[in-house]
Amino acid sequence: LRASFAPRAQKQTQKFENRVQAQASTFKVAVLGAAGGIGQPLALLIKMSPLVSALHLYDIANVKGVAADLSHCNTPSQVLDFTGQAELANCLKGVDVVVIPAGVPRKPGMTRDDLFNINANIVRTLVEAVADNCPDAFIHIISNPVNSTVPIAAEILKQKGVYNPKKLFGVTTLDVVRANTFVAEKKNLRLIDVDVPVIGGHAGITILPLLSKTRPSVSFTNEEVEQLTVRIQNAGTEVVEAKAGAGSATLSMAYAAARFVESSLRALDGDADVYECSFVQSELTELPFFASRIKLGKNGVEAIISTDLHGLTEYEAKALEALKPELKASIEKGVAFAQKKA
């Protein structure tokens, strides 16, 4: 078995390397919080992208080893490490996409909002540095509570006079990844085919999967809708409880964040057919920020897809109204934090 497997594996590797090396590697990506549970596997996945020429890894500690380790992978991007505030500016200069998974994760019994006090300050400091050093970059915010940290980032960028709403994204890709997985399992569909838009925000009931808009079209009983919706909303807590104090989702999150980075890079590279869900400044509802499907282009958000909100089921329409007060309060909490500190 080994004899027949080895040459095939070698051939596959060679094919992968040829493909990687044939592409132009043109973009610089920075990960802030790169030594963490999400940061490390995310950095690995980004290191595999043929669209990345430089991968800048920043953390307050332990990032040197992560960078040394990753730099031995024979993919084209150059890996550089940056430790502590004094090296943050250099990390960010010339970067096209900044991904921020810095901050503390949940422990059992905590809501995402319980992380506010620590993570709000971390996001504030990091986004100030982004504003000063790469104001034109796409900014991907992973640090929770996303429903508040994205409005905080927007306020900081406004205070610095460089806010571009088309380039600030709350990463909600994991909600879509989970929805796709759970629906495919339940309905016995091929995973690769399934796409469920998830709208609203990224915490509890603000996460609203639009199961009626699942592609390929599939029908659900009322019980299935209820069961799937609740599971998707609580999937983060499922992982927090299974890890029993050792953190929250890191591997599936890294996978989801890497998908969003790759989509952003493809858009920057001129691909005209890139759609993702993300929590962005929006006029879809009366709320100033809202997650929905967006079309990505070279300049960031090219269009916010409104059609997903047409013809909602009664269940979805009710859930949409029910999530608005909580999402509004989280947005306002973020804005107030950033304005108070200004």
Rounded to a whole number of angstroms, the minimum distance from the CB of residue 256 to ligand NAI is 7
Residues 6 or more apart from 170 whose CB is under 8 A from it?
A: 141, 146, 147, 149, 150, 201, 202, 278, 279, 280, 289, 291
Smallest gap from Cβ 334 to ligand NAI, in A, equals 14
At residue 117, φ and ψ (nearest 5 deg) are -55, -45
Angle between helix 39-47 and helix 251-268 axes, rounded to 10 deg: 40
Q: Please indicate whether residue 202 is annotated as part of the active site.
A: yes
- Beta strands 198-200 and 207-209 are antiparallel
- Dump strand ranges (E) for 188-258: 198-200, 207-209
Q: Among 72, 140, 202, 310, which one carries the catalytic annotation?
A: 202
Residues touching ligand NAI, count (CB under 6 A): 33
* Rounded distance between C-alpha atoms, residue 168 and residue 153, angstroms: 8
One residue of 140, 178, 202, 328 binding ligand NAI per CB under 6 A: 202
Pairing of strands 289-297, 207-209: unpaired
Contacting range for ligand NAI; rule: CB under 6 A; set: 5-13, 53-61, 288-296, 320-328? 53-61
Between CA 296 and CA 270 the distance in angstroms is: 10
Under a CB-based contact definition with an 8 Å cutoff, are residues 170 and 141 in contact? yes
Q: Based on CB atoms, which residue is closest to ligand NAI, 237 or 250?
A: 250
User: Among 57-65, 160-168, 223-231, 289-297, which window interacts with ligand NAI (CB under 6 A)?
Assistant: 57-65
- Residue 199 as a binder of ligand NAI (CB under 6 A): the answer is no
Nearest residue to ligand NAI, by Cβ distance, number only: 36
Nearer to ligand NAI, 59 or 308 (CB): 59
- The kind and range of the H/E element at 65 are helix 63-70
From residue 120 to residue 139, what is the string marking binding to ligand NAI with x (rule CB under 6 A)?
A: --x--xx-------------
DSSP 244-294: TTS-S--HHHHHHHHHHHHHHHHHHTT-S-EEEEEEEE--SSSSSEEEEEE
Among 134, 146, 294, 335, binds ligand NAI (CB under 6 A): 146
The residue within the footprint of ligand NAI, chosen from 61, 86, 192, 244 (CB under 6 A), is: 61
Q: Which of 28, 37, 289, 300 binds ligand NAI (CB under 6 A)?
A: 37
Active site residues: 202
Residues that bind ligand NAI (CB under 6 A): 32-33, 35-39, 59-61, 101-106, 115, 119, 122, 125-126, 142-144, 146, 171, 174, 202, 247-250, 253
